[in-house]
Structures are given as C-alpha cells and as structure tokens.
C-alpha cells in the first residue's frame, strides 16, 4: 500500500493543509471509536494539539506538514497493529521530545509516567560518547531496553518505520539505502518476531524497491501480467474444496493471495530459477469460524478434506497447531499438487488464529491484566532481559548477537526427560548446553543427539533429543565463540574468558609492581596511567595482561625519567600513529552528500573494491569509510551491505562510476548446462574469440550429464557483462548463467 498523496501537497494553501490535517485526525478518531472510554477523547485532543503546536513550523522532505507523520503512525498502530488509546497518544507525541521544545517532564505532567516512559523509549539518543559506537545500534539497544518493560515501544517504532518506508520516495538516494538496509536488517525480522506478518512483508517489499530496484520492478510487472491467469487458476483450485467444506457444514472463508515480491525474489535466488519456475507464487488461505475447544480438531478435518482432493507433499507439511511458534503463530500449512501439475501452498487456521497472525503480539498481549499463564512472549522477553543485563556494552556486537539469537526462525529440541527447548536456527549442542545452565555450558565436552555421540559444535535440527556430556576439567576457550549463535552462550563464554584473562592480568600486576620498584618509582595510579598511555593501551588491565603474556617486557622503562618517585615519559615520546591516518577518509565522510566519481578520475581519491561482492562499473554501489583503509566500494546488494549500512550509516558515502573504457575489472560467472562434446570450446570461443574478453580463470566440472562452470573474466562494465550473459544463454544446452554474488559463491 504505497502512499502517494505526498506529492501534490507542495501546492496546498494553508487553509487546505489545515483541512487535510483535520481530516486525518477525524479518521484516527473513527478508527478508535470502539475503544473510546469516557475522558479518552479529551486526552487524545490534548495530545494532538500538543503535537500539532510543537511541529507547526516543521515540514517533511516531501513538503507536507510534519504533523501528518505522527498522525499516520497513530493510524497504523490502531488499524494495522490493533493498539489502543494510550499507544495512540504515544504515537502522536513520539517525535516531540527529540525534535521540539517539549520535554519528557511536560509529557509526564500532562499524561502521566507510563506514557512519558514509552515516549522516552522512542526518543533517539542524539549523541553517542564512544566514537566507535554506532548511533543506530545504540538507539536500537535503547528501544530494546524498554521493550522488556513495555512492548508497545517496539510496536509504535515498527509503525513509525513502516510509515517512513512508505514515504521514502522523497529522500536522497543514500538515505534511502541506509534506511532500507536498517529495515531489512533489523525491523522486518523484528516485525516477524512480533507476529506482524503483513507489516514484515510490506517492510521487506518496500526495502527491496530501493535496494534492488531492477529486480523489484521486473517481478512486480510479471506479477501484474500473470494476475488474470492466476485468478483463474485459484478459482479452479478452490471450487472442489468449497463444495466439500459447504457439504460438511463449516462456516469458513477461502481465498488466494499472492506471495510477496521479496519472498518470490528469495526463492528465485536460493533455487537459482527464473520467475516462471517459482511454483508457489500464491498461497490459499482457509479461515474457519470455530469455537476454541474444537479449533484444532476442525483444522485437521479441513486438512483431511484437502488431502482427499489433492495429493500433499510430505516434506512440506508444517504443524504449528500442536507446537505454536514463540510469537504465538498457530496454523496448519501443507503444499499439495494442484491442477496442471502445479504445487500450491494451503494455510488452515481459525478466526482467532488469524487475528493473532495478523495483529501478532498486540492481539494476545494482555497489558498487565493479570494473565497468569506465562506466554511464550514472556519467556522470550526473559531471555532478552538476561542478555541486556550483562555488562558487555559493544552495541554493534550486541545488535549482531540479538539478530542471530532472537530474530531467527526457531527449532524445537528436547531434553533427555522430554522437556522442549526453543533455540534459534543454527544452534549447536553447545548452545543447548548453555540454555540449560551456564555451568553445564562451561563444562560441556560433547553431547549425545538422538543417542549418538557428537562434538560440541554439532548443529541441531528440530525434533532432536539432546543429552549434554560434561567434565569438571573443561573450560571455555576463544574458539567456542565461533561454535555458538545464542546471545546467552556468547555472553557466558566471554565472561568466562574475561575471568581467565583477569587471573592472568593479576600475575602481570605483580611483575609491573616489581619492575617499578626496582627502577625506584612507586606503584601508584599516576605511574600506571603513564605506562598505559606510553604503550597506547586502552586500560591498565590490558597493560597487566600484555606484560603477563610477555608481549611487553617493560625494557623501555630505562628511558623514563624520575621526578621524585613519579614517572615521566621519555622526550620525545613515541609518535602518535593513528592521528593523521584517518583524515582523508574522515574528510570523505564529512562530505556526506557529495558524489564521489571514480574510474578515470580514480587518481583523485584512493579506493579499494570490496572482495565480498567484486563491484564493476555500472553496478549500483556505495562507498564505506573503513578505519585505516580509506574508502571501500561495495555493491548495494552485497551480502554485507545491509549490516554495514544498518550499523554504520554515518560512514556511508554516495558513490557513482565515471565512464571509463580503459580499465578492466575482474568478475565471475557460473554456468550450468548439459554436458556435451565441445561445450567448453563453444564457451571459450564466444568469450575470447567473438567478444574478445580476457579470461582470468576457468573451471568446469561435469557430473551425471550436467556440467557446472565457474569463469573469472575481466570486463569494462556491467553492460559488457550483461551482453556476455545474454550471448551465453543463447548457446545450445546452456541452462543458466549467473553472476557471482560474492567471491565465495
């Protein structure tokens, strides 16, 4: 649902703008009508007037009055997430503390502590003290700190992000890239985790529109071209099912809906197939009106009717009725062979389950209403709380760990006694051990999975039964950090390593003390600080540790001077290395909006092409300022792009190629086809003979009648590569030709 109203509003008169704002406010009130209690209308009016007054001189990038943004966010909260009056007030006020003269005290005085706390959670941290920390990651951490107290913070934040994505057209290209990357990296998975599937899907689609514009347009166009044909097919598929369900006396709805552009694109990439070969472009949804005690039974009855009519695929059956997802999602999914030999996904759920699937957390979150049963959300919040309470404060690492631990899909594994443990996909036996208890994790030497002995790094699958084997002699080591994905395991391993390091550092402390006293200086804080600064170490702890492991032997101590018993560093001290190195890169970062053009003018600025995605002229690219290396150029669809832009948006530089036919760039393609006599000859003739391109390396492997070839070639730009791919596809027997997404592909 793209909002395009913003454009004509440039030319609205003040009177028309006022009418528009009022119209939006009335729509919000209409949406809230069923939830209004006495006195609520007055509170809402106060919040609206407070926000309108505070933002009255502000405009959005599209030119429209700023107050339309909080109003739109409030409407998303009410209509699409199902939140109530208090959340609406917070939505209206969510930008006031950050952008206007209103303070949290003003909000607390007017609306009470609860609303002030939520608004505070939504207010960005404006300045981050630590230079290396990322502002985005810090802000995200702050939101999560409030999430565990009040989930409404995150739901309003998702509504805010959704509206920003819907109106991203009027932003500059680099801002679009940064916001879209952040969305795909954190906010879409978070919406998924909160059970807001519609919002997650829309966020992914909108982000793809900016990150992969060509593919987005292509799929959108093909979807609209095949719409009539799809509708015809859906009707043909549904007809016999409808008759069966009617006959059985069910009260139901049945309809087909297209899959999202983003999920179709994912399928095309993962399976390396063109659009025409993605079989499930749509899903059929059956929603039954059933009383709570008969829901499960009815869903299974419907399942049996479907599989009587169409043959199911046994591997594609998903039963979330018996074991709902931790975000509350319940449904039965099956994929069946429909008419004309096409696979079709069918989702079966009750009305209540559908409400939870659409509105997620908000649908079954009873705000402090004394629900006794600890929901799966509560358990999830408890896990987050544990991680947030640890002392490791590196926000970027925290964000990465949070993503892999709490936003991934889940697997269910069993303890030897049959208790269920939920872990993120990719978890190992070691993660499982730490999920039981940190002491069990710390002493883990192996495990038995389904009664078979496995190493601690063994990846678990849903349904595994795991028994941990421990030894009192075992201690965590540095390598363990690569064997776990859960934040709890990582944190506990780091704590244990710090403890071990602390013991070693204590030994170093005595060495430093002895050497200082031998030199005639006192062991005191001043002298320790002087030594720490001299060796350019971050802390005295690090100094003691480096001395203990013999990386520093303190022989330079003889060059120091003594003033009484105080140390003075030698003159001149070691030159400061890092101070100047960063300056060209820092200068680049400052010219945020500037276009860096490279290619023929590459002598003007030093850059390196990223190895992870090997960009070539014509690719959509951005520059990333790295510490020490200057500017690195990445493709916008690089596997690392979302992480870099989401964490370090301030280091992104808008970048563009200059036309240059002199320089060639190395890139790679993968070819799959029928193994035929002379196929290699045909390929090399085309590349070297006809197109006169330089081959850097070629490997061809044939297996069971198919061959896969990997070719590295030098091209001048994307057009030349496109022409080559097009010509190769026309060769007889060639099935697919794809460019590498990264060098490890």
Task: Count Cβ atoms below 10 Å from residue 164 Cβ, excluding itself.
Answer: 18
Distance CA 514, CA 523 (A): 8
The structure tokens listed for 68 are 């339309």
Q: Are 390 and 488 in contact (CB under 8 A)?
A: no
Distance CA 139, CA 123 (A): 8
**Among this protein's residues, is 392 annotated catalytic?**
no
- 538-542 long-range CB contacts below 8 Å, 24 or more apart? 541/502, 541/505
Angle, helices 487-519 vs 395-406, to 10°: value is 150
Any idea what DSSP says for residue 145? H
For residue 652, give the H/E element and its range.
strand 652-657
Q: Are 287 and 252 in contact (CB under 8 A)?
A: yes
Q: Are 599 and 590 in contact (CB under 8 A)?
A: no
Q: Tell me which residue has tokens 């697997």.
A: 411
Which residues are 284's β-sheet partners? 256, 346
What separation, in Å, do the N-terminal and C-terminal C-alpha atoms of the chain show?
A: 35
**If we measure between CA atoms, which residue out of 375, 392, 483 comes closest to residue 432?**
483
**Among this protein's residues, is 204 annotated catalytic?**
no
State the catalytic residue, choosing from 98, 105, 243, 553.
98
Residue partners of 697: CB distance under 8 A and separation at least 6: 710, 711, 712
464 half-sphere exposure, CB direction, 13 A CA radius: 25
> Which DSSP string do the residues of 222-284 spell out, in sequence order?
HHHHTHHHHHHHHHHHHHHHHHHHHHTT--EEEEEEEPPHHHHHHHHHHHT--GGG-S-SEEE
Task: Count Cβ atoms below 10 Å from residue 88 Cβ, excluding itself.
Answer: 28
State the catalytic residue, choosing from 17, 40, 79, 99.
99
Instruction: Give catalytic residue positions.
Output: 98-99
């Amino acid at each position: 649902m793209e909002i395009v109203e913003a454009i004509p509003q440039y030319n609205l008169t003040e009177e028309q703008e006022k009418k528009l704002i009022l119209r939006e406010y009335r729509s919000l009130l209409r949406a809230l009508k069923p939830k209004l209690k006495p006195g609520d209308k007055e509170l809402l009016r106060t919040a609206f007037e407070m926000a309108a007054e505070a933002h009255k001189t502000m405009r959005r990038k599209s030119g429209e009055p700023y107050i339309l943004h909080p109003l739109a966010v409030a409407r998303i909260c009410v209509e699409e997430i199902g939140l109530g009056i208090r959340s609406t007030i917070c939505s209206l006020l969510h930008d006031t503390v950050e952008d206007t003269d209103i303070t949290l005290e003003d909000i607390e005085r007017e609306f009470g502590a609860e609303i002030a706390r939520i608004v505070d959670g939504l207010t960005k941290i404006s300045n981050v003290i630590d230079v290396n920390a990322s502002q985005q990651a810090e802000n995200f951490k702050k939101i999560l700190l409030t999430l565990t107290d009040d989930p409404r913070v995150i739901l309003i934040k998702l509504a805010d992000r959704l509206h920003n994505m819907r109106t991203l057209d009027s932003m500059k290209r680099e801002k679009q890239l940064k916001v879209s990357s952040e969305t795909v990296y954190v906010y879409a998975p978070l919406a998924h985790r909160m059970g807001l599937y519609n919002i997650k899907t829309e966020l992914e689609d909108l982000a793809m529109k900016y990150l992969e514009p060509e593919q987005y347009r292509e799929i959108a166009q093909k979807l609209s071209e095949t719409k009539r044909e799809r509708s015809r097919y859906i009707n043909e598929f549904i007809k016999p099912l409808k008759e069966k369900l009617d006959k059985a006396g069910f009260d139901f709805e049945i309809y087909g809906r297209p899959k999202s552009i983003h999920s179709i694109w994912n399928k095309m990439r993962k399976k390396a197939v063109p659009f025409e070969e993605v079989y499930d472009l749509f899903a059929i949804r059956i929603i039954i009106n059933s009383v709570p005690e008969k829901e499960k039974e009815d869903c299974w009855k419907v399942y049996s009717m479907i599989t009587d009519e169409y043959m199911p695929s046994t591997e594609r059956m998903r039963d979330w009725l018996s074991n709902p997802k931790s975000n509350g999602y319940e449904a039965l999914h099956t994929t069946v062979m429909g008419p004309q030999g096409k696979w079709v996904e069918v989702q079966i759920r009750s009305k209540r389950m559908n409400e939870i699937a659409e509105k997620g957390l908000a649908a079954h979150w009873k705000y402090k209403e004394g629900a006794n049963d600890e929901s799966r959300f509560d358990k999830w919040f408890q896990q987050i709380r544990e991680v947030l309470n640890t002392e490791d404060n590196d926000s970027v690492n925290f964000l990465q760990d949070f993503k892999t631990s709490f936003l991934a899909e889940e697997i269910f594994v069993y303890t030897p006694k049959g208790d269920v443990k939920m872990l993120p996909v990719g978890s190992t036996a070691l993660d499982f051990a730490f999920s039981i208890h940190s002491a069990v994790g710390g002493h883990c030497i192996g495990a038995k999975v389904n009664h078979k002995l496995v190493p601690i790094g063994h990846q678990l699958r849903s349904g595994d039964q795991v028994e941990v084997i421990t030894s009192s002699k075992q201690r965590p080591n540095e390598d363990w950090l690569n064997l776990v994905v859960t934040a709890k395991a990582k944190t506990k391993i780091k704590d244990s390593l710090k403890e071990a390091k602390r013991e070693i550092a204590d030994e170093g402390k005595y060495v430093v003390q002895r050497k200082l006293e031998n030199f005639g200086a006192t062991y005191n804080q001043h002298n320790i600080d002087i030594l720490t600064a001299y060796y350019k170490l971050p802390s005295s702890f690090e100094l003691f540790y480096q001395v203990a492991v013999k990386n520093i032997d303190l022989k330079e101590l003889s060059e120091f001077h003594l003033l009484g018993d105080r140390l003075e560093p030698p003159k001149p001290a070691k030159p400061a290395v890092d101070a100047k190195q960063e300056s060209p890169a820092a200068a680049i970062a400052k010219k945020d909006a500037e276009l860096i053009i490279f290619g023929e003018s590459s002598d003007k600025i030093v850059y390196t092409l990223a190895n992870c995605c090997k960009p070539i002229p014509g690719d959509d690219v951005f520059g990333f300022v790295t510490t020490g290396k200057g500017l690195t150029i990445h493709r916008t669809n690089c596997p690392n792009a979302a992480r870099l832009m989401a964490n370090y948006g301030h280091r992104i530089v808008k970048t563009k190629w200059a036309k240059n036919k002199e320089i060639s760039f190395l890139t790679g393609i993968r070819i799959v086809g029928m193994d035929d006599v002379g196929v290699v000859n045909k390929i090399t003739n085309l590349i070297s003979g006809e197109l006169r391109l330089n081959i850097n390396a070629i490997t061809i492997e044939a297996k069971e009648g198919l061959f896969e070839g990997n070719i590295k070639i030098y091209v001048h730009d994307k057009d030349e590569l496109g022409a080559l791919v097009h010509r190769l596809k026309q060769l007889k027997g060639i099935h697919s030709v794809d460019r590498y997404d990264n060098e490890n592909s």
